[in-house]
Amino acid sequence: MTKFKKPTKAVLSDAGFGSRFLPIVKTIPKSLIPLGNKPAMQYIVEECVHAGIEEIIIVATPEGKPMYEDYFTNPVPRMRALLESQGKMDRYKSVEEILNFPKITVVLQDPELPYGNGSPFVSVRDMIDEDEAFIAIYSDDIVVGGEGAVKALMDEFDRRGGEISALMGAQETPGREVEKYGVIKFKEGTDEVEFMVEKPKMEEAPSHLAVYGRYILTPKVFKYLNKDETGKDAELWMTDAVSKLAGSDGGVYAVTVADGTWCTTGDPKGWFMTQLKMVMDENKYADEVKEFVARY
């Protein structure tokens, strides 16, 4: 099995229409919607930085690109000057934290590619060396609490000595929940993935182990992310590509992440529950919020 270099780059996709979240996503990209005082995307950047990632590439929509560039680079000098004159520089610290992140590049999805969650990653193919593995993230999936999934994937990459085709974060999912996700089937009696099915009916699901939006991919996956290999709804699916990779090359494994809670924020209900979980976990407001919820 080919040995790949450990990831130093993370590709974070927010290039979809996010139509479950219309109308707000008409103007604000899905992962710039805040959870508390930070956008979802920032939690993901922090998870990557914590795991030692040195370069972040965000794949955005044409509307989203300038907003991400502003968010991650604008030092808002007018605000800084006012806060300084008022002796409130402690409030500016959170802006400095953002400005100190490692290199963040925002790129557009290749307009020639079909719609689908595989396309943002093919769009940055030229930014990835042939022998390097990279982190790939759907930026509407947040890990609340704990070290996050990127660190767990990096540790697993080390444990396997870089000899992989792909690694993915996974979690046991109860009952009908499984119908919302990509679901894993292992090769009999091994820890190697045989294939994945996207959003199966519960009765047909090969397991209850759902993939969440965290992968370590190798450039091998690009062989199966061609614009004429679309699947369901004429979209280009990462699930299909990784499934084909598992079937042909092998070396695809899943990592169950127990440290932290996987929350999906890509629709208003998921976003609201994530927000609530974060607030309940946050000591400062937790008791008041619990009391408020109990009262109503």
Residues that bind ligand G1P (CB under 6 A): 117, 138, 141, 181-182, 198, 210-213, 239, 264, 266
Q: How far is the CB of 97 from ligand G1P (least distance, A)?
A: 27
Q: Judged by CB, which is closer to ligand G1P: 72, or 252?
A: 252
Q: How far is the CB of 258 from ligand G1P (least distance, A)?
A: 17
Measured CA to CA, the distance from residue 167 to residue 135 in angstroms comes to 9
The alpha-carbon radius of gyration of the chain (Å, integer) is 20
The DSSP output letter for 103 is E
**Structural element, H or E, at residue 269:** helix 268-281
Pairing of strands 134-138, 9-14: parallel
Residue closest to ligand G1P (Cβ): 182
Q: Judged by CB, which is closer to ligand G1P: 72, or 242?
A: 242
Q: How far is the CB of 11 from ligand G1P (least distance, A)?
A: 15
Q: How far is the CB of 30 from ligand G1P (least distance, A)?
A: 10
| Residue 80, beta-bridge partner list | none
Q: Judged by CB, which is closer to ligand G1P: 46, or 198?
A: 198
Q: How far is the CB of 106 from ligand G1P (least distance, A)?
A: 21
Measured CA to CA, the distance from residue 45 to residue 24 in angstroms comes to 22
Strands annotated E in 28-91: 34-35, 38-39, 55-60
Q: Judged by CB, which is closer to ligand G1P: 72, or 211?
A: 211
Ramachandran region, residue 189 (left: φ > 0; alpha: ψ -120 to 50; beta: rest): left
Measured CA to CA, the distance from residue 177 to residue 183 in angstroms comes to 11
Residue type, 292: F
Q: Judged by CB, which is closer to ligand G1P: 5, or 208?
A: 208
Q: Judged by CB, which is closer to ligand G1P: 134, or 181?
A: 181
Q: Judged by CB, which is closer to ligand G1P: 72, or 136?
A: 136
Whole-number Cα distances in Å, 197 to 54, 100, 134, 252: 32, 40, 23, 14
Q: How far is the CB of 239 from ligand G1P (least distance, A)?
A: 5
Pairing of strands 166-172, 209-217: antiparallel
CA atoms within 13 A on the CB side of 131: 3
Q: How far is the CB of 104 from ligand G1P (least distance, A)?
A: 23
